[in-house]
Every structure is written in C-alpha cells, then in structure tokens.
Amino acid sequence: MYDISDSDILPLSLEHTFWTWSAQAKVDPIPVARAQGVYFWDVDGKRYLDLNSMVMCVNIGHGDQRVIDAIIEQARQLPFAGPPMATKPRAALGKLLTEITPGDLDRFLFTLGGADANENAIKLARAYTGRQKILARYRSYHGATAGAMAVTGDPRRVSWEPNVMPGVVHFLDPYRYRSTFHRTNPDISETDFCHDYLNHLEEIILYEGPETIAAILIETVTGTNGVIIPPDGYLQGVRDLCDRYGILLIADEVMSGFGRTGKWFAVEHWNVVPDLMTMAKGLTSGYAPLGAVAMRPKIAEFFDQRTYVGGLTYNSHPISLAAAIANIQVMQADHLVEKAAAMGPVLHRMLVDLGEQHPSVGEVRSIGLFGIIELVRDRRTKEPMAPWNGTSPEMNAFRKYLLDHGVFLYTHWHTALIIPPLIISQEQLADGFAVLDEALAITDKAVEA
C-alpha cells in the first residue's frame, strides 16, 4: 500500500511525527503490524495480549470483519457528507442508540471523540439552564480540549492552568480506599459513607449557589483515576441533588459505556437516567473516530426554535457512523454485554486471588471487565508504589516485565488497569494473570518488611 518496509515504520514515525502526552525524545512506541481478537503483533511478529483494549476502546476485539466490511461498504456508497446532510447511517445510528441508551435519552449529537462530546454537553447544559458553573470531580478525566481539560480534575488539567475554561468547581469522589473523611472510621457502613459524600457535594452546591450551576459532570465509574465504583445510592443521590436544585446531570460514559461494566451503560447499574450522556471509545470500538452526546427530549426541544451554536466539519461522519452501527450490531449478535457481565465475577476472582498472594497489592476493584490493581509499599499506611502524578523504578520495571512477556496494559502512577476486549476468554485472561503474577514479584520486593 505504501512504499515503507516494516523496519522503516519505527524510525520514520519517530523522525517525522509528533507524539501526544510525551516528551518526544523519550517515546518508545511499539511498531504494530496487525491485530486480531485480543492480540496485536509487532513488526517482528511478537504477540501482545491486549489487556487495555488498545486505548480502553476496542470493546469488540481487534479485526472484526463485520465492522471492516461496513466501513468499506460505506466508503463505496458515500465516504463523506457534511454535518447538515441527512444520511442513511445517521438515521440508523440515531435509532439504534435510542434503543440501547437508558430512559428517554433519544436525541444524539455526533462528535469526533470523547473530549468534544463533553465540550458539547457543557455547551448544551449552559444554554439550557442559562447558568455557567460546572461541578466535576478531582479524580476525573474528561478529555484534552480546552473545556474538557478544565473539567478534568486530575493533573492533566493543572499543566495548562491558569489558562483553562473558567467556571468549573471540583469536588471529591466517593473513593473508599483513600477516603479523606474516613481515615479514622474506615469501617463506616456503605450507606453512611455514601451520605458523607453526598453531603460534601450538597455543601459545595450551596456554597457556590445552586442558581449558578448548570451541570454536575461525572464519570459514572471513574476510569483512569482509579476505577472508582460508586457505592449504592450515590448516583441516585447525585440525581436527586440535581433535581432538587435544577442542575443537569451529565454522565461521561466514554470509558464505562458499551458493555465495559457488564451493562450497555454503567448508569444502568443504579437505574439513573442522566440528562446528558457522553460516549466515544466503545461506540465504534476504535474502528473509526466517533463520540456522541445523548440528550433527553427536554434539552433537544429547547433548541427547537433556538440555534445551537456549535459544530465541526466532521460531525456525523458517515464512515464513523457506519462503523458504530456495525459495532453495536456485533455486540448484540455476539451478546457481548451479557458476556462481559458473566466474565465480571471471573475477573474479580482473579484479581482477589492475585491480591491475596502479593503484599504489594493494596486493593483490587472491578465491575464487569473494568478492573484495577492498586500497588502499595505498605498495606497499613497505603503508601502508593509511585507518588501522585509520578512514577517509580518499581512501576517502570513492572510495566517493562509485562511488555517483555507479551502483556500490554495501562499503568497509571501506582495502579495497573485491566480493561480487556469484551470477547476475552477465561483462558486468555488467565494467561495474562500468570504474567501479572510474575511481574508482581518486582513490586513485592519494594514492600517494607
């Protein structure tokens, strides 16, 4: 296709292309040649088990011919039509998403990815409510465009301050393992724990002035910042606070959507319907770039006679929409949401077993095929294996061991995330855990005796 040999891929990519999230001289990319199922291969034929679904997005697995064929067919029929046009994939995907999204979410704005889905959700909420402030959580990532970066709570925002979108107030996540409020009473009941975090949120709402707050934006299950699974009652409580104060609830399901947690969308675990819901990643399983904002009828109707001021050249791109339709059909035909739900306890058991065998495992958490291992130097003090926003020789060696032994996963500071394609089998997961088991010998050595 191109006059580039396998051995040229790495040097030419390094010489002429610029890498996101990286110091250019320090990148060490894997030259990927092909991918199939839960594996990808580099140009030397080395196989990697993909425990991160590439970028937490290849939910249906790599190389599914049904999605590839749909993309080819769409490219033949109509590779591009601008956002003002009505197209067949646009009509079909809107209908399909109405069927699989919860409650009365039935209108969809198609974006290029997750960050601009959140940008649009913020704009929609501000216009609809006539209010400006957005409340979001510290342990969150919502994307790297200006507004999405401002709502992001983690240090990826801090790097760009003070020049980020104004009007964002952050609050704390219900993160039980390191709960600020419960250092002296860690055994507090789930109900009281939940109330403490809802009270914290309500206090902030009152201090900020409810009449100034357009929306509360949260990752339903926090992703890169810790796979934080909200306690029962929390999401319902946030919904109630929103209703009480006329605030919109925006659920960011970019990572937690499309079967990742064992439901189509994580909000379904708690029977909560957000006013706006953002999605991307698993929407096309990465086969083409696409995000979306789902909205309830009241929000769509608000714009019946008012212009929505916003849009990009590639909104509703036909090839991406076709990829999404085929991807959802694959998920339905192969029962991948049900499969993820069934594999959830299997992954959880493997995580718990691993934790029991390794003193450097502080805690494991998972929901569906969305898991995390927190590595610590001391289980009692919970001192993390790498500092907040940092790394450590042990974490680097741990990651290197996994890669050397053909397991690809995402490490974030002192954590390792387990986010495999939803098609993974028990045997394939066990293969990955066997390597993890060996790699943890490295971090175990750092545990103070």
Ligand X SMILES: Cc1ncc(COP(=O)(O)O)c(C=O)c1O
Q: Which residues bind to ligand X, rule: CB under 6 A?
A: 113-115, 118, 141-143, 219, 223, 252, 254-255, 280, 291
Min. distance of Cβ 57 from ligand X in angstroms? Answer: 8
Nearer CB in complex with ligand X: 143/237: 143
Q: Using the minimum distance from each CB to ligand X, give the nearer residue, 196 or 252.
A: 252
| Cβ proximity to ligand X, 142 vs 399, nearer residue | 142
Which residue, 141 or 398, has its beta carbon nearer to ligand X? 141
Of 136 and 361, nearer to ligand X (C-beta) is: 136
CB of 300 to ligand X, least distance (A): 22
| Distance separating alpha carbons of residues 135 and 241, to the nearest angstrom | 12
> What minimum distance in Å lies between the beta carbon of 340 and ligand X?
17
Cis peptide leading into 102, omega within 30 of 0?
A: no
Q: Which of 286, 319, 239, 344 is nearest to 75 (CA)?
A: 319
The residue whose Cβ lies closest to ligand X is 114
Looking up tokens 């009365």 gives: 104
Q: Which residues fall within 8 angstroms of residue 1, CB to CB, at 6 or more apart?
A: none
Shortest distance (Å) from residue 77 CB to ligand X? 26
Structure tokens at 83: 């956002």
Residue 342 CB neighbour total at 10 angstroms = 13
Minimum distance between the CB of residue 145 and ligand X, rounded to whole angstroms?
A: 7
Q: From the CB of 308, what's the least distance to ligand X, in Å? A: 20
Q: Could you tell me the CA-to-CA distances from 446 to 3, 76, 358, 443 in Å, in that order?
A: 48, 57, 11, 5
The bridge status of strand 47-50 relative to strand 407-408 is: parallel
- Given the complex with ligand X, which of 289 and 359 has the nearer CB atom? 289
Ramachandran region, residue 408 (left: φ > 0; alpha: ψ -120 to 50; beta: rest): beta
Smallest gap, in angstroms, from Cβ of residue 119 to ligand X? 9
- For ligand X, which is the closer residue by CB, 366 or 392? 366
